[in-house]
Structure 1
Amino acid sequence: METFLNTAFSFPTVVFSILLSVAIIYWLISLFGMGDIEADGDIDASGDFSGLMVTLGLQGVPLPLVLTLLFLTGWLASYFIDLIFGALIPSGLLHWLYGAAVIFAALVLGLLATSVLVRPLRPLFRRAFLQPLQKRIVGTPCVVISSAVTEVSGRGEAILDGAHLVLQIRSHSPLSHREGAVIIEHIPDENAWWVVPESEFYTGDSAG
């Protein structure tokens, strides 16, 4: 027990111990009804941050859950790395450099582990959120955040009820980065959305 406490509450593992404690407090507050967890099927954040999360494979579940898994897996990685190698590093500047390297390595390992852990959870949140989303999102404007949108690939950002949603979008008319479009239909098999350019939608030229 003494070894566990010394490792968990000493640098560098203490950084993840603090972050994980904050996450636990958040879930306890939410459990007692004093907080609100949005199962919105995607990450509510700025476009660049959301795009990064999609790239890392962390989309599809609420951001608090992603962060909790990241802190937990990062803590585990940091704890066992420090448990094995910490006693070999002398105190002083070298120990701080070692700690920074451990934190970086733990974050990388945590991201990899979290991206694997969220995969089986996505369908759970998709079922909870997708049906209400389908009813509300058709007709919503969006902005292309990928380099282009075609019939087979593309990403867009829409704002729904004040929340930023990053969605997989498809279009019969090629769209470029930051071009405006309007969501017209859901594609269940791909969990994506058909869109048309804003000009076509508002002039009635789209095929629907």
Structure 2
Amino acid sequence: MDTFLAVAFSFPTVIFSVLLCVAIVYWLISLVGLGDIEADGDIDASGDFSGLMVTLGLQGVPLPLVLTLLFLCSWLVSYFTVLLWGALVPAGFLYWLFGFAVLAAALIISVLVTAMLVRPLRPLFRRAYLPPLQKRIIGTACVVISATVTETKGRAEAVLDGAHLVLQVRSHTPLSHRERAVLIEHIPDKNAWWVVPESEFLAGDSAG
């Protein structure tokens, strides 16, 4: 136990020990209902930070989970590196140099390991946080596959997340076969969607 505490609270492991303790406290608070663990299933695509997360392959799961995995992996790498080789490094400047090298290596390795760990988790969070179809499909382009589309009947095909959907559609402006349109509103009682011609939508005249 003395060895464990000595390594865990020595440089550089102490940095990750503190961060890991913060993460554990966060999850404990969330577990008893005093905190809010709801987080977006994906990181917003805007901003330098989110762009960096996407580049590192850490997107697609809640940020608190990503940080917890990063802290845990970094702590493990740092702890066992210092445990195995720390005693061989002389105290003073060389040990501080060794510590910074371990710090950098732990961060790099933890990013690589965390990226591998979150990859199989993405589908789980994508399903958990995916908005309803009625919200996601609004603004999606479609192609008329029936002979016509009117205010009372019509069908169109749309592609959403790689899936081809055949939808009941309605339009105030008559549309013909293979004409392109845009879904603008859901009709709950008919399980259909109002559409407007794509050219009209792009021109900004979708109010009618």
Question: Same fold by TM-score, threshold 0.5 exceeded?
Answer: yes
Whole-angstrom CA distance in 2 between matches of 1:39 and 1:137: 22
Query: Per the alignment, in what secondary structure is the counterpart of residue 40 of structure 1?
Result: coil
Give 1:1-208 correspondences, 5 Å limit: 1-44=1-44, 47-132=47-132, 135=135, 138-139=138-139, 186-188=160-162, 201-204=201-204
Computing the radius of gyration over CA atoms, which structure comes out larger, 1 or 2? 2
Whole-angstrom CA distance in 2 between matches of 1:68 and 1:41: 15
Deviations 1:114-161 (A, max 9, x none): 001101111111111113486258449xxxxxxxxxxxxxxxxxxxxx
Whole-angstrom CA distance in 2 between matches of 1:134 and 1:98: 56
Query: Per the alignment, in what secondary structure is the counterpart of residue 55 of structure 1?
Result: helix
Distance apart, 1:186 and its partner CA = 3.2
Query: Per the alignment, in what secondary structure is the counterpart of residue 10 of structure 1?
Result: coil
Deviations 1:143-186 (A, max 9, x none): xxxxxxxxxxxxxxxxxxxxxxxxxxxxxxxxxxxxxxxxx973
Please tell me the residue identity of whatever aligns with 1:110: S
Distance apart, 1:17 and its partner CA = 0.2
Query: Per the alignment, in what secondary structure is the counterpart of residue 160 of structure 2?
Result: strand
- Do 1:39 and 1:125's aligned partners in 2 also have CA atoms closer than 8 Å? no
Whole-angstrom CA distance in 2 between matches of 1:123 and 1:49: 22
Please tell me the residue identity of whatever aligns with 2:48: D
The alignment covers a number of residue pairs equal to 154
Identity across matched positions, percent: 73
Distance apart, 1:188 and its partner CA = 4.2
Whole-angstrom CA distance in 1 between matches of 2:16 and 2:133: 35
Whole-angstrom CA distance in 2 between matches of 1:68 and 1:12: 18
Any stretches of 5+ residues in structure 1 without a counterpart?
141-183, 190-198
TM-score under structure 1 length normalisation: 0.66
- Do 1:138 and 1:185's aligned partners in 2 also have CA atoms closer than 8 Å? no
Whole-angstrom CA distance in 2 between matches of 1:10 and 1:200: 66
Deviations 1:91-112 (A, max 9, x none): 1122111111111000000001
User: Judging changes above 3 Å, is the alpha-carbon distance between structure 1 residues 10 and 130 closer, same or farther for their aligned structure 2 residues?
Assistant: same
**Moved >4 Å (runs of 4+):** 199-202
Any stretches of 5+ residues in structure 2 without a counterpart?
141-157, 164-198
User: Judging changes above 3 Å, is the alpha-carbon distance between structure 1 residues 18 and 135 closer, same or farther for their aligned structure 2 residues?
Assistant: same
Structure with larger RCO (C-alpha < 8 A, sep 6+) = 1
Deviations 1:32-86 (A, max 9, x none): 1121122422125852111111111101000000000000000000011111110
Q: What RMSD in Å do the two structures reach over aligned CA positions?
A: 2.7
